Amino acid sequence: HSADAFRTDLMTITRFVLNEQSKYPESRGDFTILLSHIVLGCKFVCSAVNKAGLAKLIGLAGETNVQASCQGEEQKKLDVLSNEVFVKALVSSGRTVTQIFLQCILVSEEDEEATFVESSLRGRYCVVFDPLDGSSNIDCGVSIGTIFGIYTVKDDGEPALDDVLQPGKNMVAAGYCMYGSSCTLVISTGGGVNGFTLDPSLGEFILTHPDIKIPKKGKIYSVNEGNAKNWDGPTAKYVEKCKFPKDGSSPKSLRYIGSMVADVHRTLLYGGIFLYPADKKSPNGKLRVLYEVFPMSFLMEQAGGQAFTGKQRALDLLPTNIHERSPIFLGSYDDVEEIIALYAAEE
């Protein structure tokens, strides 16, 4: 197997994107440069996340002062750090106009504003992202991730929030990077979905999951069942059906990590459905439209699945606020179809 151990025809993400770009002769390479800055951000966060775990181990071995530096404090730093890394990487790429990022711990959600890049560094792209989603999972080593979506500006005028308050179907690309047992970057530029795994020895993302297609129907459902008492009728009925199917089929398995990137990644590869529904306490669910719901819905559709809000196709939603939330049901085509039918029956 020596030939396998040293494959020399590696398809790196850079090569892959350049190949894609060559299909569009009018392209100026801006997107490739923008993406390479996102990739750099992902590598940086990956390394920081790994080091955070290591710092903790050193702490357990009795290093002084670790309590302050490795608990709460360190975790906070990781959130802020990830944010800073992406903002700086994107601004310096000189290809973006507006960026929205989640400053989860600096200010209240209502006060979070979009960053407008100074005019000399402006480009044509707008990036919406969650630099470190699921960060409550850092302390126990559960997978976390970065989620991003990319729009182009609407026109040549001054950039405005309107440039990012566009339906998800207008995105030109979307993806996520999962910091798990390996570092995996999954991306779509509108022509299918491809997955790349970071080879730490090369520092390069290598194409490992070409043209990902989600199974048409799955055997797994993924939801926070602790909220069941506040669910609406269709969600409750759907989950009941998963557990006690009446058509003779086997019950579905429940898998819920509580880290969106990891739950969606599993759904994409194994099939099934991921739900973050509305409930009586949170009528719009929990997840954010621009940088959680849209990118994941974009990837699902590109992989042959569906994404539904309980009212409409998720990618048709027109956000009016940059931090807006929406219920979301996404995954295998047939499974989401069942949820759509239950909501239609409700009307």
Q: Which residues bind ligand AHM (CB under 6 A)?
A: 104, 130, 133-136, 224, 258-260, 263, 286
Decide: is 133 part of the binding site for Mg ion (CB under 5 A): yes
Closest distance to ligand AHM from the beta carbon of 124 (Å): 28
Cβ proximity to ligand AHM, 93 vs 326, nearer residue: 326
Question: Rounded to whole angstroms, how far apart are CA atoms 157 and 170?
Answer: 18
A 10 A CB-CB count for 245 gives 12
Cβ proximity to ligand AHM, 75 vs 259, nearer residue: 259
**Could you tell me the strand order of the sheet in which 115-116 lies?**
115-116, 96-101, 125-133, 144-152, 173-179, 183-188, 194-199, 204-209
Q: Which does 301 bind (CB under 5 to 8 A by kind): Mg ion, ligand AHM, none?
A: none
Closest distance to ligand AHM from the beta carbon of 169 (Å): 22
Question: Rounded to whole angstroms, how far apart are CA atoms 196 and 183?
Answer: 8
Cβ proximity to Mg ion, 13 vs 78, nearer residue: 78
| 81, 83, 95, 130: residue in contact with Mg ion (rule CB under 5 A) | 130
Determine how β-strand 220-222 pairs with β-strand 253-254: parallel
Cβ proximity to Mg ion, 159 vs 295, nearer residue: 295
Cβ proximity to ligand AHM, 134 vs 218, nearer residue: 134
> In this structure, which amino acid lies at residue 254?
L
Closest distance to ligand AHM from the beta carbon of 259 (Å): 5
Cβ proximity to ligand AHM, 279 vs 335, nearer residue: 279
Question: Rounded to whole angstroms, how far apart are CA atoms 239 and 222?
Answer: 10
Cβ proximity to ligand AHM, 204 vs 263, nearer residue: 263
Decide: is 79 part of the binding site for Mg ion (CB under 5 A): no
**Sign of dihedral through CA atoms 79, 298, 234, 265?**
negative
Closest distance to ligand AHM from the beta carbon of 101 (Å): 11
Per DSSP, the residues of 298-333 read HHHHHTT-EEE-SSSBGGG---SSTT-B--EEEESH
Closest distance to ligand AHM from the beta carbon of 113 (Å): 17
Q: Which does 79 bind (CB under 5 to 8 A by kind): ligand AHM, Mg ion, none?
A: none
Task: Let me know: does 121 contact 270? Beta carbons within 8 Å.
Answer: no
Task: Choose the binding region for Mg ion from 57-65, 129-137, 199-207, 329-337 (rule: CB under 5 A).
Answer: 129-137
Closest distance to ligand AHM from the beta carbon of 276 (Å): 6
Per-residue buried b or exposed e for 31-40, using 16+ beta carbons within 10 Å of the residue's own CB:
beebbbbbbb
Closest distance to Mg ion from the beta carbon of 5 (Å): 38
Task: Let me know: does 143 contact 133? Beta carbons within 8 Å.
Answer: no
Decide: is 279 part of the binding site for Mg ion (CB under 5 A): no
Which residues in this chain contact Mg ion in the complex, by CB under 5 A?
A: 130, 133
